Amino acid sequence: MIKKILFSTLVLDILALSVWWVHDTDVLLLLSAPWALAAAAALGTALGITRAVFSARARGDGKTERHSVDAFLEHWGTAAGIFILIISGYWMGSGGMFARNLHFLGILVTLFFGGYFLADFFITKKHAALLPDSRDITGGTLGKYCLGNCWRESGKYLSSQKSAFLVFAILGSEILFTGAVKAAAFFRAVPPDVINVSTSVHDAVGMLFGVVLLVHMLLVVTVRAHRPLLGHWLRGDLAGELEPGFREEPVEEN
């Protein structure tokens, strides 16, 4: 817990200093430092590989580790970048240079922590625990929340969390791709129709991402059974709330 608090404080301090620096910058960072995008992704990926290869991930106390320090940073670091992108994206039309550079900062943060996560995701095979199967989607998400069916969770993550991860990954990839097309127009000749379509898709998917994110956060705080899981971000273990290996078929409640 102490490590997570210390790392969080360090990251927040760096972000605060970065926002302050961006506020006083009078040049468009995308044009003056495009190399920073590749550098952020490469550095995050390199650190993720190092962490995944050389760090012992198993705990010896018999508990299932839900959120290690690196998982904590991956999640909340990427979330910080996404929040910066959402705020600056909506503000882009009237915020001038600061909003544009703040958006650039959000991209850097997201690429850094996203690269860290992806390296860890593939090397440690997190996809086995994070990606949902069809039953997670139909029974553990749609059936449980939309139809009120019974569903017994198992493993490290709730079925709805795994489904949410898949949705965020799909929407995020669309935003990243269309954003890359828009950014490329600053350096290469891109047909106007391509820019217009990319902008429309980027904005629409960005708004949808924001709605899904809002629903995700509301479910965390409004569903009583979910609230204890918030503490796991600091404690890290499952603390017995979920029993790995046990799963109940969705049953209609009477």
Predicted confidence (pLDDT) per residue in 210-245, tens digit: 999 998 888 888 877 777 766 666 565 554 444 443
Tokens, residue 223: 């569903």
Half-sphere exposure of 228 (CA within 13 A, CB side): 9
What gap in Å lies between CA 151 and CA 234, rounded to an integer? 26
Are 56 and 159 members of one domain?
no
Q: Are 73 and 234 in contact (CB under 8 A)?
A: no
Tokens, residue 74: 């991956």
Are 87 and 136 members of one domain?
no
Predicted confidence (pLDDT) per residue in 100-140, tens digit: 999 999 999 999 999 999 998 888 888 888 889 888 899 88
Domain boundary among 125, 160, 181: 125
| Backbone Cα Rg of the chain | 20
- Residue numbers of the domain that contains 165: 132-254
Quote the number of domains for the chain. Answer: 2
Are 149 and 114 members of one domain?
no
In the chain the first and final C-alpha atoms are separated, in Å, by 42
Are 195 and 115 members of one domain?
no
Domain boundary among 73, 101, 125: 125
Domain boundary among 125, 155, 178: 125
Q: What is the pTM of this model?
A: 0.81
Q: How far is CA 107 from the centre of its chain?
A: 12
Predicted confidence (pLDDT) per residue in 51-90, tens digit: 888 764 544 444 555 567 777 788 888 999 999 999 999 8
